Amino acid sequence: MIRWRRYMLSQTTGYAIQALGFLATKSDFTLIREIATETQVPQGYLAKILHQLARKGILETQRGKKGGVRLAPGNEKMSFFEVAELMDDPVVTMRCMMGTAQCSPTRHCPCHDFWSKQREREQALLRRKTLKDMARFYRKHAKRERQSR
């Protein structure tokens, strides 16, 4: 499991990216239980995240024997930044590194210049990486696991 908390994204956004990346490897509907197992994301938490993404049209859902969720067509091209926006992640908002309410481009804290540049670099990276990239990771990982058996 990837530990997103120490990095630039919230845990919820990290879990969303992992789940969506895994779903980008599938064409059929997939059970939440399988997604949770493969991504090592807690199933109850994952269900809430996927429900939110389905309401926003990122996922298609189907009930019944062959039910589950799948990525809506074309969404494998979605960037990590777009997922972060959907999840209202703090990385996409202007926030002060020091936590001061008055920090802004016109009235800023001592770390504002550094933090603004760092945030721009993080956002650029998130815009370059897509769910397709995450799908490649899962395919490579699955292949490696099959070979080690």
Residues 49-95: pLDDT tens digits? Answer: 999 999 999 999 999 888 999 999 999 999 999 999 999 877 776 66
Q: What is the rounded CA–CA span in Å between residue 1 and residue 35?
A: 12
pTM beyond 0.85: the answer is no
Closest CA to 9 of 94, 80, 58, 103: 80
Q: What mean pLDDT do residues 113-132 have?
A: 87
Is residue 61 domain-resident?
yes
Is residue 125 domain-resident?
no
Domain count, the chain: 1
Is residue 141 domain-resident?
no
User: What six digits make up the tokens of 102?
Assistant: 């008055």
Q: Is the pLDDT of residue 6 over 50?
A: no
Is residue 126 domain-resident?
no
Instruction: List the domain range (segments joined by +) for residue 39.
Output: 4-91+131-136
CATH number for the domain harbouring residue 79? 1.10.10.10
